[in-house]
Amino acid sequence: MIKLSKRLQMIADRVPKGSKVADIGSDHALLPTYLAQQGIIVSAIAGEVNPGPYEAAQRQVLESGLSKVIQVRSGDGLAVLETGEVDVITIAGMGGSLMASILDAGKSKLPGVKHLILQPNVGEDHVRRWLLENGWKLESEAILEEDGKIYEILTASTGSLEERDALESLYAERQLPGGVNVSKERLHQMGPYLINEAPEIWFMKWESELNKLAMIEAQLKLSTAEASIVKAEQVHKEINEIKEVLACLQKVKP
């Protein structure tokens, strides 16, 4: 029986029982294998564009005796799917910008899909924007630390363009209990649910991000170019706004 990492387990826990799943960028097909072994899914497609992981996924499925449940397919993104084949798509372990581009390129394959379970390594704001712009309802956000890295898992369900006002309201500028206003841009960046919940690991992530931004600002200040000066000012403003959010939420935490 497969034992998943903490990160993959958290993704698996969000897959509804009885689903037909596509795991895009499946690597060694660990997630679909686990889901099949646990009886959580009816069927799965493991998509992988790279030859090495594709072959590893084939071996995993074959050795697990799950060839009738899991199909391993070679291809880029959602190109491995036929429309209507699956009702849940999982994508994990890549940048948010790439993830959004995969979803955008594969829009024609999304009819019939009820849930997206997405774990971007960085650039979560790209994913949140794509979901909003394409009528998907962000239902939950989770955050975890594993092996010194912090990950976010975003779960979305099918909405409709008619529900756009309700979808937009999730990112409406809001005032935190401590009195700080949070913009739509900052909610995309920091997470509308995570800002509400503000778990300790989330604070750790943003302290780390502030350190990275401070280094970027310091590098930009070494240049006298006008573009660098403007960019440094923008980064400085971003640092201050993030600090305000963190300080405000630290004050109101029980």
* 50-71 tens-digit pLDDT: 999 999 999 999 999 999 999 9
Which has more confidence, 159 or 93?
Answer: 93
Tell whether 66 and 147 lie within a shared domain. Answer: yes
> Does residue 54 form part of some domain?
yes
How long is the chain?
A: 254
pLDDT at 159 over 80: no
pLDDT at 47 over 90: yes
Tell whether 91 and 129 lie within a shared domain. Answer: yes
Q: What phi, psi does 43 have (nearest 5°)?
A: -160, 165
Task: Kindly give the residue spans of alpha helices, DSSP state H, lying in the chain.
Answer: 6-12, 30-37, 51-63, 96-105, 124-133, 164-169, 184-190, 192-197, 200-220, 226-252
* 186-240 tens-digit pLDDT: 999 999 999 999 999 999 999 999 999 999 999 999 999 999 999 999 999 999 9
> Does residue 230 form part of some domain?
yes
> Does residue 1 form part of some domain?
no
Answer with the one of 128, 152, 169 that is the final residue of a domain. Answer: 169
Tell whether 47 and 87 lie within a shared domain. Answer: yes
pLDDT at 56: 95
CA distance 36 to 234: 48
Strands 149-158 and 115-120: antiparallel
> Does residue 162 form part of some domain?
yes
Which has more confidence, 250 or 182?
Answer: 182
Q: What phi, psi does 151 have (nearest 5°)?
A: -125, 150
Tell whether 91 and 66 lie within a shared domain. Answer: yes
Long-range contacts of range 60-68, CB-CB < 8 Å, 24 or more positions apart?
Answer: 60/28, 60/29, 60/30, 60/33, 61/29, 61/32, 61/33, 64/2, 64/33, 64/36, 64/37, 66/33, 66/36, 66/37
> Does residue 122 form part of some domain?
yes
CA distance 77 to 110: 12
Tell whether 132 and 242 lie within a shared domain. Answer: no
pLDDT-based confidence at residue 162 (cuts at 50, 70, 90)? low
> Does residue 34 form part of some domain?
yes
The full DSSP string for 79-93 is GG--TTS-SEEEEEE
Tell whether 97 and 209 lie within a shared domain. Answer: no
The answer to whether the beta carbons of residues 221 and 178 sit under 8 Å apart is: no
Number of domains making up the chain = 2
pLDDT at 201: 97
> Does residue 126 form part of some domain?
yes
Tell whether 28 and 132 lie within a shared domain. Answer: yes
Longest dimension (CA), the chain: 63
Tell whether 197 and 138 lie within a shared domain. Answer: no
Cα angle for residues 175, 181, 186 (degrees, 5° grid) = 110
> Residue 210 is which amino acid?
L
Q: What phi, psi does 110 have (nearest 5°)?
A: -85, -20
Answer with the one of 145, 169, 193 that is the final residue of a domain. Answer: 169
pLDDT at 1: 84
Query: What is the CB neighbour count within 10 angstroms for residue 108?
Result: 9
Tell me the average pLDDT across 24-41: 96
Tell me the average pLDDT across 143-167: 85
pLDDT at 253 over 90: no
CATH number, domain of 90, equals: 3.40.50.150
Tell whether 191 and 204 lie within a shared domain. Answer: yes
> Residue 247 is which amino acid?
A
CA distance 5 to 249: 30
Answer with the one of 134, 169, 204 that is the final residue of a domain. Answer: 169
pLDDT-based confidence at residue 87 (cuts at 50, 70, 90)? very high
Tell whether 49 and 28 lie within a shared domain. Answer: yes
CATH number, domain of 213, equals: 1.10.287
pLDDT at 164: 65
Structural domain span for residue 131: 6-169
Tell whether 240 and 224 lie within a shared domain. Answer: yes
Q: Coil, strand, or helix at residue 46?
A: strand
pLDDT at 102: 98
* 4-18 tens-digit pLDDT: 999 999 999 999 999
Q: Name the β-bridge partners of 158.
A: 136
> Does residue 240 form part of some domain?
yes
Tell whether 65 and 190 lie within a shared domain. Answer: no
pLDDT-based confidence at residue 161 (cuts at 50, 70, 90)? low
Q: What percent of the chain has pLDDT over 70?
A: 96
Average pLDDT, the chain: 94
* 98-142 tens-digit pLDDT: 999 999 999 999 999 999 999 999 999 999 999 999 989 999 999
